[in-house]
Structure 1
Amino acid sequence: MKRYFLVSIMLLCIINISCIPYKDTVYLQNKSQATDSLQVIVEQQKPYRVQINDILNIRIKVTDQDNVQIFNPIGIGNLNASGAEQAYFDGFTVDLHGNIRIPELGEMNVLGYTTKEIEVLITNILLEDQFKETANIFVTVKLTGLRYTTYGEIGSGIQTIYQEQVNIFEAIANAGDISDVGDKKDVLIVRQYPEGQKIHHIDLTDVNVMNSPYYYIQPNDMIYVKPLRQKSWGTGTNALQNISSVATILSLVTTSILLFNRL
């Protein structure tokens, strides 16, 4: 009887240790207060500043649109391309020196500028060299989609969202969500800066992540989701799966002992 009791205790310990706790699977938990409701004021995202390898979509409009046809090369790079690939051929890529090359206007340094600042810069150059104010120049500059990379316990690959502002949850949902064995409490964001790359850690299970300066992703971010220890153990994600696994093992052990005793 004592033997069965010890086996039962061991099984319960295995099940308890190998299960993934419920609190580790739930997003946006209120960990700092005892109340059910919590108002979180999301930090305003700072304007994004252009980096190397960004692709800009630049469109120039004037009263006589034929006069700016050369500035708007739509669809001439690759007629068979579509979507993000077409944006690559039609857009203006920021080179290693932070420059873009625009027809007639030549090279222009845009590294560290916001898209609004680039719009003003191009407008001023056109007014100085190409057009008069009566031409009613209207310049728009946008990033050709927000491109980022996901890997680990999440849908892996290069992702693109055609929005100017994307938070971490939208980015994860677009990649297919985090798997059951992904660590939501310590998600890594690798972000590019002029001086190099930095790694930032965020806890998606804490509602205060919405106050984090890394709540909104930026172009060229890399999002890495680490696996939980339960994955390396090869156990189930909940008690029922673990009981099934343990029962299978016990059944094999019992069968082996019975066969051995018969010999």
Structure 2
Amino acid sequence: MVKQLSLVISLVISILCASCITNKDIVYLQENTGKAADSMQLYALPKPYRVQTNDQLSINVKAIDPELVSIFNPTNISSSGTSEQTLYFNGYTVDAHGDIEFPILGKLHVLGYTTDEIEVLVKEELLKQYFKETAQLYVTVKLPGLNYTTLGEIGTGTHVIYKDRVNIIEAIAQAGDISKAGNRKDVLIIRQYPDGQRIHHIDLTTIDAMASEFYYIQNNDLILVKPLVRKTLGVGQTPLQTLSTIVSLGSVLTGLYFLIKGL
């Protein structure tokens, strides 16, 4: 009986020790063994964001004579900022058909366009329908920052970063980082596309993540971090927690042994 009990205790201790969260589980962008270098070349570049339905756009038209373009900037968004709240009331919303309603020009189809392409489109239509080349038009199109949402073993909520290019490490830092119990080896990115949503996976514990096409996030991305199996099982996340679990379990098994022996 003693031998069997010792075997069970040894097995339980081995399993619990193996369940501790190690540095390999929580350190970001670890270099591959044997491939360490002073620097490395990264080839992945962020793909330009393409406008989706319900996006808010800030469109500002400038010319030599500001009075000529005042009708296109009725709310003077450039001076009031391009916050999401401001654009909700004063910007241009992409409707379910992928169109925006622009003064004088009417409906413009912008679904799937980049902001640079929309700038060209608006300028060309203005020159075709309303202005001459001598007006020297300058059109800018902006999104109200880069919006994304985080869920799971990370600070939960919707976040905005006022940059055109944001990588997933920056996004996670803005959200408050992934908890120690979060699975950094399989972070899910749920991304919007014109034909629907797709789920992508990225391992943030390897330096190869920086070359992934999903290393840079896009507007309206959902970043989902699942818990590690260790947390799901309810075992210790640190050696001290694991030791505490082992001592508690050992006490129970010892008490059970003496109880059976006394019968």
TM-score (norm. length: structure 2): 0.86
Partner of 1:71: 72
For the residues of structure 1 that align with 2:253 and 2:70, how far apart are their CA atoms?
78
* 3-state SS, counterpart of residue 222 of structure 1: strand
Amino acid of the structure 2 residue aligned with 1:99: D
Q: Is the 8 A contact 2:83 2:145 kept in 1?
A: no
For the residues of structure 2 that align with 1:61 and 1:129, how far apart are their CA atoms?
16
Please give the per-residue CA displacement for 1:213-241, whole angstroms capped at 9, x wherever unaligned. 11111111111111111112222211112
Segment drifting more, 4-13 vs 213-222? 4-13
Amino acid of the structure 1 residue aligned with 2:124: N
* 3-state SS, counterpart of residue 127 of structure 1: helix
Partner of 1:132: 132
TM-superposed deviation, 1:47: 2.1
Partner of 1:204: 204
Partner of 1:90: 90
TM-superposed deviation, 1:38: 5.1
Q: Calculate percent identity across the aligned residue pairs.
A: 51
Segment drifting more, 183-192 vs 18-27? 18-27
Q: Is the 8 A contact 1:40 1:211 kept in 2?
A: no
| Root-mean-square deviation over aligned CA pairs | 2.9
For the residues of structure 2 that align with 1:140 and 1:155, how far apart are their CA atoms?
34
Is 1:234 the counterpart of 2:251 in the alignment? no
Partner of 1:16: 17
Q: Is the 8 A contact 1:40 1:210 kept in 2?
A: no
Is 1:166 the counterpart of 2:166 in the alignment? yes
Amino acid of the structure 2 residue aligned with 1:246: I
Partner of 2:184: 184
Partner of 1:112: 112
User: Structure 1: 5+ residue runs without aligned partners?
Assistant: none
TM-superposed deviation, 1:255: 7.9
Q: Is the 8 A contact 1:148 1:219 kept in 2?
A: yes
TM-superposed deviation, 1:106: 1.2
For the residues of structure 1 that align with 2:122 and 2:82, how far apart are their CA atoms?
27
For the residues of structure 2 that align with 1:96 and 1:68, how far apart are their CA atoms?
28
